[in-house]
A and B are shown apart, each in its own frame.
Chain A
């Protein structure tokens, strides 16, 4: 249908390589198993750490540390899902960026303490009353 040979090649379906697909499927399986082993350990440690009172400062450090560990593992898991699908990956990455942006802008434009109401005059609250 197309005079452009490169376009014509794009319309040719990929050859089906069963052995490669089986190998890919096993690879995905072991990635899942590794994720399970790591995530199980991290969640178990998180729950144990949650049951211990280290004091205000170290409680905060523990929460941040385990939240970061979980986030990294989830990022790893997502990468195992997306690594071959750049079209979808980029859609999701941009979706996430926009979501974070939307959350930030909504909070910025809200009445929330410390974050929202950027034009509020904290030095002279009376001046803000209508």
Chain B
């Protein structure tokens, strides 16, 4: 039995089956990501002043990934155009480039995740602030505002040594603007890092630490949101790459039997890929440009 409207559009909806299916699927995806972004909004707005991390992501990684995903959207449409023109080799080249872009995106994401895994954060007791603050300022190191919930302030960096009595860390430098046009009295007065070549270490007594851990989801709300959103997005990228790899290999056999149906399938895959792209360009300013 032949299934109707797999090739041509159904007159009343103007869509063929696959396209209607993908739009319904994307409607459910909008609800999924919409719920997560809404949760983010609540958590962010409900955070106490000064406790939400800022300038902690590598913006250039995010920027590179944004450009890669937008490029992949173009190559995806190029693959569809090539199929419409019945240029099979061009189709394979364009789809191969799209898959490559997806893999590069995932590789950059893996580097970012690894840097979070390597990093540690320490919440130090509020009353010990006087003990560490002068040295942190001298080093131009980052330290957060006092968190009213944990009654402590945060220092982040690489763990150099851990003993039962103390931690030796290489603290992260204070985030600062590359260029400062603000009037001097209103500009951020973040201390600048010293230009010494050697890594500066800070010794923190274990007894002063409220809690510490790697910058992974359980470390704090921001990291939980960061990993949830980017992880879910990465899963979509993986899904897209798997589907495209199928259409580049086994699924490409359909070209001989029904090139128009393969073209429809690639169009539907492209719509999904555009959606994944749109989610990312929403994620980028929310999580990176903060």
What is the interface of chain A, defined by CB distance below 8 A to chain B?
10-14, 16, 18, 21-22, 25-26, 28-29, 32-33, 35-36, 39-40, 43-44, 46-47, 50-56, 58-59, 67, 70, 74, 77-78, 81, 84-88, 91-92, 95, 99, 102-103, 106-107, 110-113, 115
* B271 at interface, CB cutoff 8 A: yes
B175 to chain A, nearest CB (A): 10
- Does the CB pair A29–B181 fall under 8 Å? no
CA distance A80 to B63 in the complex (A): 24
Report B-chain residues with C-beta under 8 Å of the C-beta of A53: 177, 179-182, 187-188
In angstroms, Cα B14 to Cα A86, docked, is 9
Check B181 against A52 for contact (C-beta < 8 Å).
Answer: yes
By the criterion CB–CB under 8 Å, are B188 and A81 in contact?
A: no
B61 CB to nearest chain A CB (Å): 11
B34 at the interface (CB under 8 A from A): yes
When the two chains form the complex, which single residue of A18, A32, A95 contacts B74, counting CB atoms closer than 8 Å?
A: A32
Given A28-B77, A43-B63, 12 additional A-B pairs, CB 8 A: A16-B260, A18-B84, A22-B85, A29-B78, A36-B71, A43-B67, A47-B63, A74-B281, A81-B274, A85-B14, A85-B23, A107-B42
Residue of A nearest to B187 (CB): A53
Check if A70 sits within 8 Å of B285, measured CB to CB: yes
Any chain A CB within 8 A of the CB of B9? yes
How distant is the Cα of A43 from the Cα of B281 in the complex, in angstroms? 9
Q: Which residues of B contact A22 (CB under 8 A)?
A: 81, 84-85
Q: Report chain B residues within 8 Å CB of A87.
A: 13-15
Interface residues of B in 1-30 (CB under 8 A from A): 4-5, 7-9, 11-15, 23, 27, 30
Assess the B289–A50 pair: CB atoms within 8 A.
yes
Q: Does B194 make an interface contact (CB < 8 A)?
A: no
Contact of A46 with B14 at beta-carbon distance under 8 Å, contacts A51-B178, A53-B182 already known: no
Query: Does B113 have its Cβ within 8 Å of any Cβ on chain A?
Result: no
Contact of B186 among A44, A56, A92, A107 (CB under 8 A): A56
Q: Determine whether the beta carbon of B278 is less than 8 Å from that of A13.
A: no
Tell whether B137 is near chain A: CB-to-CB under 8 Å.
no
Beta-carbon contact of A32 and B77 below 8 Å: yes
B112 → chain A closest CB, angstroms: 16
Given contacts A25-B80, A26-B81, A50-B59, contact A43 B66 (CB under 8 A): yes
Q: A55 near B187 (CB under 8 angstroms)?
A: yes
B73 within 8 A of A: yes
A90 to chain B, nearest CB (A): 12
From known contacts A25-B80, A52-B178, A54-B181, infer whether A40 and B70 are also in contact, taking CB-CB under 8 Å: yes
Q: How many A-B residue pairs have CB under 8 A?
A: 133
Complex formed: what's the CA distance from A13 to B12 in Å?
10
The reply on B45 being an interface residue by CB < 8 A is: yes
Are A25 and B180 also in contact (CB < 8 A) when A43-B66, A47-B63 are?
Answer: no
- Judged by a CB distance under 8 angstroms, whether B255 is at the interface is no
Find residues 134-148 in chain B having any chain A CB closer than 8 Å to their own CB.
none
6 contacts between A and B (CB under 8 A): A12-B11, A16-B8, A39-B281, A52-B180, A55-B187, A92-B27
Q: With A and B bound together, what is the CA distance between A128 and B50 in angstroms?
A: 28
> Which residues of B are found within 8 Å of A107, using beta-carbon distances?
41-42, 45
B38 within 8 A of A: yes
Which 10 residue pairs across A and B have the least CB separation, nearest first? A55-B182, A53-B177, A51-B178, A25-B81, A25-B84, A52-B179, A13-B8, A53-B180, A53-B182, A29-B77
Nearest-neighbour CB distance to chain A for B235, whole angstroms, equals: 22
CB of B196 closer than 8 Å to a CB of A: no
Q: Is the CB of A35 within 8 A of B70?
A: yes
Closest B residue by C-beta to A96: B30
B46 interfacial contact with A, CB 8 Å: yes
Report the minimum CB–CB distance from A59 to chain B (whole Å): 8
A22-B85, A88-B23 as given contacts; A112 in contact with B42, CB under 8 Å: yes
A75 shortest CB reach to chain B, Å: 11
